[in-house]
């Protein structure tokens, strides 16, 4: 019996990644979902919870250890997928990290924060994608997705048209030191870089039949950045399940007309 399309999701044991897994399990289509995680026990626990919540799903799940900060971990994961499944039908580069608050707490220097932000959100993602592409090219309908952020757009840094944009972009009073504001400078910069990475892969794979996007899932109440879902909800964040379903919509062809773009649920995100 066919296991269905093979999908690897990084950072899939929590947050948006887990919501993507849940949405795939509720789809009418059948998948084999590789639940990427740094800690295999956490991946196994996530799978157990999803299988309990959706006992009638036709999809199957298995954990796979992959740490974007460690090349050997990435190489081992790809070798395992190659040996067990021979191909990938979709790679969802979801794993990411936000370290900005660690500067004010003294846990990281500015340099450490920026290096770590780019290492996970961009560099590690690039290593994994490069190694995964040969497996994607064996699929008849390959899809490559980079999870970006609504804060990554350069164009919208000039806007204060909404409450969220006011919080992000309003200039502080004159003088030094500046008030901390929303601490996402490193994260926002790295996700902007990720958008360019997506464009580079769009160019590289244009003649290979691989559909590529950056998906901007919306302002979601996840644990990213350490603020906590409740705090984020008070700021206007929505249920992360909405973001998970949107990513699955892209996987299942509902935004094929927007290949090579950064897409939001209801629009193309400006650069």
Query: Residue 52 corresponds to which tokens in the numbers above?
Result: 């309990």
**Rounded-to-integer distance, Cα 260 and Cα 36, Å:** 24
Catalytic-residue membership of 149: yes
- Whether residue 97 contacts residue 44, with contact meaning beta carbons closer than 8 Å, is answered with no
Catalytic-residue membership of 191: yes
- Listed residue (69, 67, 72, 64) closest to 21, CA to CA: 64
Out of 22, 123, 191, 211, pick the active-site residue.
Answer: 191
In Å, how far are 159, 171, 177, 178 from 174, measured between CA atoms?
Answer: 20, 9, 9, 8
Dihedral sign computed on CA atoms, order 45, 47, 50, 54: negative
Out of 117, 123, 149, 189, pick the active-site residue.
Answer: 149
- What's the count of helices (H) and strands (E) in the chain, helices before strands? 10, 8
- Whether residue 142 contacts residue 202, with contact meaning beta carbons closer than 8 Å, is answered with no
Q: Which helix (H) or strand (E) holds 48?
A: helix 40-53
Out of 22, 187, 211, 261, pick the active-site residue.
Answer: 187
**Rounded-to-integer distance, Cα 14 and Cα 258, Å:** 28
Catalytic-residue membership of 31: no
Q: What is the DSSP letter of 89?
A: S
- Whether residue 243 contacts residue 197, with contact meaning beta carbons closer than 8 Å, is answered with no
- Listed residue (64, 75, 76) closest to 7, CA to CA: 64
**Rounded-to-integer distance, Cα 262 and Cα 70, Å:** 27
In Å, how far are 152, 155, 235, 252 from 149, measured between CA atoms?
Answer: 5, 13, 16, 21
Active centre residues (catalytic)? 149, 187, 191
């Amino acid at each position: 019996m066919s296991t269905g399309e093979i999908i690897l999701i990084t950072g899939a044991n929590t947050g948006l990644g887990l919501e993507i897994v849940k949405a795939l399990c509720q789809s009418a289509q059948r998948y084999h979902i590789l639940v990427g995680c740094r800690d295999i026990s956490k991946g196994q626990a996530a799978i157990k919870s999803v299988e309990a919540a959706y006992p009638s799903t036709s999809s199957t799940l298995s954990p796979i250890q992959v740490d974007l900060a460690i090349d050997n971990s990435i190489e081992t994961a790809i070798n395992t997928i190659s040996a067990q499944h021979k191909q990938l039908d979709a790679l969802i580069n979801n794993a990411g990290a936000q370290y900005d608050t660690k500067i004010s707490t003294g846990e990281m220097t500015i340099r450490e924060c920026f290096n770590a932000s780019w290492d996970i959100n961009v560099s590690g993602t690039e290593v994994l994608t490069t190694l995964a592409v040969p497996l994607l090219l064996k699929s008849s309908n390959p899809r490559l997705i980079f999870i970006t952020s609504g804060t990554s757009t350069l164009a919208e840094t000039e806007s204060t048209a909404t409450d969220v944009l006011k919080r992000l972009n309003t200039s502080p009073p004159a003088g030094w030191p500046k008030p901390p504001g929303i601490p996402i400078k490193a994260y926002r910069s790295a996700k902007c870089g990720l958008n360019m990475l997506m464009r580079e892969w769009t160019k590289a794979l244009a003649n290979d039949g691989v559909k590529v996007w950056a998906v901007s899932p919306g302002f979601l109440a996840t644990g990213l950045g350490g603020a906590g879902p409740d705090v984020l909800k008070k700021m206007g964040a929505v249920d992360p399940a909405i973001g998970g379903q949107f990513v699955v919509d892209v996987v299942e062809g509902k935004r094929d007309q927007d290949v090579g773009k950064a897409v939001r649920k209801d629009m193309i995100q400006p650069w």
